[in-house]
Structure 1
Amino acid sequence: MTDIERYNAAPPPAQRQLSPEAQAALAAGRADSTRRAYREDREAFIKWCAQRDVQPLPATQDLLIEYVTHLTITPRPRTGRPSAPSSLERLLSAITTMHAELDLPKPETKGARTVIAGYKHQLAVDKKPGGRQRQAKAALPPALRKMLDILDRDTLIGKRDAAMLLLGYAAATRSSELVGLDIGEPVECEEGYMVQIYRVKMKKFTDSAVPYGKNPATCPVRAVRALIGAMREAGRTEGPLFVRIDRHGRIAPPMMRHGKAIGDPSGRLTPDAASDVIERLAEAAGFEGRWRGHSLRRGFATAAQRGGAPMVRVARQGGWADNSTSLARYFDEGDPWEDNPVMGL
């Protein structure tokens, strides 16, 4: 048998798959949210190909152009609008990485990306959603104070939300990093708390020193201590630091759907639930724009830059890489009023 005959007799590349164990190990290298999004993107792509009797893998450049074009003109059931440019860019990554996982040649995506660029440009010209990148508003100190003023800090849920705001800000956490903390992980010392945080993007732990604040009402150390003390009084001395609490002050009340228990049995908040807390407080304070958990992280970086903190120290505190381009953007932006070039003309 010749080499060509052996190749033709072998299973087609699209049928070669990693073992379930290898697939799980590979998937563990991505964030949970990314894994879910990639899985949904891949399933939708394969379903679309099946409906048209087209072989999805290996994907040709023309196939990807057709698929992306289809998504730019087809409303999604949930929103009633076509997919956003950022969603299209993610799905290309999902399809590209699927090829790599199946040991297939990397698909050519240049044409599809050109379609996305034109789509994004037209959305911007037409002033439609998706044409402008949506960024979470930066939670600067004045905004934090207004959100804190809304809370009833005599209640357990008020203590939890205050600690989330202040610790999330002082340690510049992502929502997933914040809710991942357990009760015993903030280690109290003379200067405040030393908190070891697993930084999901860097995939390593960093130590963030959280000092006492000058004002007790905005002090992250006092807020965390108050929460831990209240949790202890409620019988919680271990497990997640930030948990579900109902309006009656019950910790980790059962959550049911169609008669089945859902959610973390320990009551740990999800990243989305933590972001919802920030959104709810911002709305109650009368703020406009998009407020999510990332508002705390962005607010920390922006305020630190305006306060003159060295970029490397900001990076080490918040778990950014020393050469982080996302952090550099905050430093490059500066204060739009203080650093405004028009003022000197």
Structure 2
Amino acid sequence: MSGAPAGLATVEAEVLDAELLEGPGAETAVRTGRDRHLSPETVTAIAASVADSTRRAYAADRRAFTGWCEREDRTPLPASAETMAEWVRHLTVTPRPRTDRPAGPSTIERALSAVTSWHLEQGHAKPNMRGARAVLNAYKDRLAERKDEAARARQATAALPAQIRAMLAGTDRATLAGRRNAALVLLGFATAARVSELVSLDLADVTEAEHGYDVTLYRKKVRRHTVNAILYGTDPATCPVRALRTHLAALTGAGRDNGPLFVRVDRWDRLAPPLTRRGRTIGDPAGRMTAEAAAEVIQRLADAANLSGDWSGHSLRRGFATAARAAGHDPLEIARTGGWADGSRVLARYMDDIDRVKNSSLVGIGL
């Protein structure tokens, strides 16, 4: 276990605890050193099951916790209940360099998860969080009483059809970049895709059909593929089928008939060549866009359209859920389309803006 990377999540502990290779009567087995050994390749495979962004965030949280423990002469592993409570209090009062404000509740929740999972990975019991939770709850109350915006969990602004029309109104679809961006926005909305799922699409994942296109996405959070039917829209300007067809034709004209669906385009409106650093190729050699680049496209288009709000790569996904619910679609079908887990609290929160009015107890009571 000592060879496991610091960012490895609880999945490793769960795999080990499950004793997957043991059969009946295993409790009488005699262990050898080899029985408890994980090869570097297996450690890497287990770590790969955790999203890169989560792994990076957890690693940063653990470094920060360890550094604070060193300064305070406390033991990070295993941490006492008192240490956890003091650390949370420290987070609630110490400004962060980037924002000059203390961490928000959601950031502190993530940090607690990072430290808790770290204990499990290293063979320790979860630390006692009763005091830490009390400190965090009091912090949430103070923020709410002060009407501090940090009291509310941040959510991406929903990109609804009206906003999407505004975003695309200024897009030059005579250019390769403009055609790509229109297809990226409309396909992202039509499939309720995370930007990481969207940029992972290849041309082979798109199949023309009588209704338009079928697009196969791998939903990593639920570890399954969904085949999304992309239908013609009533407005040619926001029709995902037309936008996708135009983008595919542009790629064919640029000599691309395989590889990534969404690729980098340089300032001269050409398919960007492979990126290099000190003579070595970096990034995807086929020019695949990164999730960060796709999110920046959405943010730039929203800014150019003078749309207010907190725009991100998740705006399309939230917008789909909101718009589909407003149109009367069943939550289960919405979840299946977007690859949400059954009973997803995140999806429920996205649809709440519609349901809190539509299903309000005030409806029909005669006021």
**Fold agreement, TM-score > 0.5:** yes
Aligned residues: 330
Greater mean deviation of Cα atoms: 166-175 or 239-248: 239-248
User: Is contact 2:199-2:294 (8 Å) kept?
Assistant: yes
- Where does 1:197-212 land on structure 2 (aligned, <5 Å)? 197-212=217-232
- Is residue 217 from structure 1 mapped to residue 242 from structure 2 by the alignment? no
Shift of 1:269: 1.8
Following TM superposition, by how much is the alpha carbon of 1:265 offset from its aligned partner in structure 2, in angstroms?
3.0
The Cα shift of 1:108 comes to 1.4
Q: Distance in 1 between matches of 2:146 and 2:273?
A: 47
**Partner of residue 252, structure 1:** 272
User: 1-side partners of 2:353 and 2:206: how far apart?
Assistant: 33
Q: Supply the distance in 2 between the matched residues of 1:140 and 1:99 (Cα, whole angstroms).
A: 42
Matched with 2:24 is none
Q: Distance in 2 between matches of 1:128 and 1:207?
A: 42
Query: What does the per-residue CA deviation read over 1:183-228, in whole Å, with 9 as the maximum and x for residues that have no partner?
Result: 2211111111111111121121111111122222211111111112
2:251 is matched with 231
One-letter amino acid of the structure 2 residue matched with residue 27 of structure 1: A
**Does structure 1 residue 270 correspond to structure 2 residue 274?**
no
Q: Which residue of 1 aligns with 2:121?
A: 101
Q: How far has the Cα of 1:246 moved from its partner? A: 2.0
RMSD: 2.4
In 1, the alpha carbon distance for the partners of 2:51 and 2:92 equals 27
Q: Take 2:228 and 2:109, find their aligned partners in 1: how far apart are those partners? A: 33
Query: Residues 22 and 51 (structure 1 numbering): CA distance in 2 closer, same or farther, change over 3 Å?
Result: farther
1:181-192 to structure 2, matched below 5 A, reads 181-192=201-212
Q: Could you tell me how far 1:136 is from its partner in structure 2?
A: 0.9
Structure 1 residues 1-52: Cα deviation after superposition (integer angstroms, max 9, x where no partner):
xxxxxxxxxxxxxxx9965444323322221110111111112211222233
Query: Does the Cα contact within 8 Å between 2:275 and 2:285 map onto a contact in 1?
Result: no
Q: Does 1:141 align with 2:141?
A: no
Secondary structure in structure 2 of the residue aligned to 1:58 = coil
Structure 2 letter corresponding to 1:250: R
Identity, in percent, stands at 54
**Code of the aligned partner of 1:209:** A
- What amino acid does structure 2 have at the position aligned with 1:142? A
User: Offset of 1:255 from its aligned partner?
Assistant: 4.6
Q: Which residue of 2 aligns with 1:317?
A: 337
CA distance in 1, matches of 2:277, 2:141: 42
Q: Does 1:91 align with 2:111?
A: yes
CA distance in 1 between counterparts of 2:141 and 2:106 reads: 13
Aligned counterparts, 1:1-345, within 5 A? 20-253=40-273, 255=275, 262-334=282-354, 341=362, 345=367
- Cα distance 1:58–1:243, how it changes in 2: closer, same or farther (>3 A)? same
Shift, 1:80, TM fit: 1.6
Relative to the length of structure 2, the TM-score reads 0.83
The answer to whether the 8 A contact 2:143-2:150 is kept is yes
| Unpaired stretches in structure 1, ≥5 consecutive residues | 1-15
Partner secondary structure for residue 81 of structure 1: coil
Instruction: Describe the superposition over 1:144-198 as per-residue Cα deviations: whole angstroms up to 9, x where unpaired.
Output: 1111111000101101110011000110111111111112211111111111111
TM-score, normalized by length of structure 1?
0.88
SS in structure 1 opposite 2:151? coil
In 2: Cα distance, 1:259 partner to 1:42 partner: 34
Per-residue CA shift, 1:89-114, capped at 9, x if unaligned?
10111111111111111111222122
Whether the 8 Å contact between 1:210 and 1:220 is mirrored in structure 2 is yes
Question: 1:133 and 1:342 mapped to 2: Cα distance?
Answer: 28
Residues 17 and 102, structure 1, Cα contact 8 Å, conserved in 2: no
* Large movers: runs of 4+ above 4 Å: 16-19, 253-262, 335-340
Q: Secondary structure at the match of 1:197?
A: strand
Distance, in Å, in 2 between the alignment partners of 1:215 and 1:89 is 43
Amino acid across the alignment from 1:243: V
Question: Aligned with 2:126: secondary structure?
Answer: coil
**SS state of the match for residue 334, structure 1?**
helix
